[in-house]
Amino acid sequence: MEQELMRLIAQIKPVSTAWSARAKERLDSLTKPPGSLGRLEELASRYVCIREEPMPALKKKRVVVFAADHGVVAEGVSAYPQEVTYQMVYNFLRGGAAINVLARHVGAEVEVVDIGVKADFAPDLDLVACKVAYGTRNMAREPALTREEAVRAIWVGVERAQEAVSQGVDALAAGDMGIGNTTAAAALGAVFTGRPVAAVTGRGTGIDDATMQHKIGVINRALSLHRPDPQDPLGALAAVGGLEIAGIAGLILGAAAARRPLLLDGLIATAGALVAAKMAPAATDYLFAAHRSQEPGHQIMLDSLGLSPLLNLQMRLGEGTGAALGLGLLEAGLKIYREMATFADAGVSEK
């Protein structure tokens, strides 16, 4: 499977800038001063370049929420018990979570993927069952995953992207659910950005000062134990990562190979992006940073990827909530590009 993954990665090409000139010509012909709609114009232009079409459509949007548990919760790094992961999956499936509300708001579908929840679900649920393992192992004491498990989890994400494209999805967003996953994400953030653990670690679900210091210590212990190499992204992911983070990395790779944009959510999704970008640097051309999370490590990760967030709403929930709002902005930019009258059409004098 690792060889198959490498073949997919070889298909990911940088986005051609040749299409940006065509997009700019169209945008500058619209009834407004050139560039006056700022980043909405940037979104439209980037979408045209990704799709390589003069008037691309954006009809179908999907948020893919990967759910998984983390063995490191045994170290007392979270304010919530592990069973919340399982309980929240049911909330997603009932349509009662924040991601469901915001996805409905922007007209996006929500797909929930069990990639590693430490429980079994009823077989008749509208759930994508792709469990690689019943959660990770405790990274503070042993590798979170085997290399094979990490590859399998990435491939789950690739297949979710491929399935989405086959069903006509034009844009994807990455979401997550997993108690303890900010610990894994911060560990990967430290590995790939080279910044100290204390700089990339936040309060996650709302831990107190003492637990925060303990969390930093647990991550430092894990990194000292495994010494993950940033030049070996699969090895680093296996050592201190998470199954949902791996799934998101695969979703990014699958989207990029199929020339589809992907909207990143917060810390967890961006940790997945760090893994994907290390495996396929051109994949970053297909990424949009929907927002900046309150987690301190998130901006550090975005800077490392060269991505500028569209929103800063002081959010820190995860689930894909910020990414869903980003989908709405991407669609707004494209509607400006497609639907606004040109100076010639409207009979308005140009500058």
Contact call for residues 317 and 297 (beta carbons, < 8 A)? no
Distance CA 253, CA 5 (A): 9
DSSP letters spanning 1-63:
-HHHHHHHHHT--PPPTHHHHHHHHHHHTBSS-TTTTHHHHHHHHHHHHHHT-SS-----EEE
- The position carrying tokens 């709609």 is 37
In this structure, what are the phi and psi dihedrals at residue 292, rounded to the nearest 5 degrees? -110, 120
- Residue at token pair 């393992």: 133
CA distances from 63 to 73, 155, 194, 250 (A): 26, 17, 30, 14
Q: Strands, DSSP E only, in the chain?
A: 61-68, 109-116, 128-129, 171-177, 262-264, 287-289
Say which amino acid occupies 172: L
Active-site annotation holder among 111, 149, 295, 319 = 319
Question: For residues 242 and 176, what is the distance between their CA atoms, to the nearest angstrom?
Answer: 11
For residue 136 the two structure tokens come to 């990770």
163 is annotated as an active-site residue: no
User: Which residues pair with residue 111 across a beta bridge?
Assistant: 64
Residue 346: how many CB atoms within 10 A of its CB?
Answer: 11
The residues annotated with a catalytic role in the active site are 319
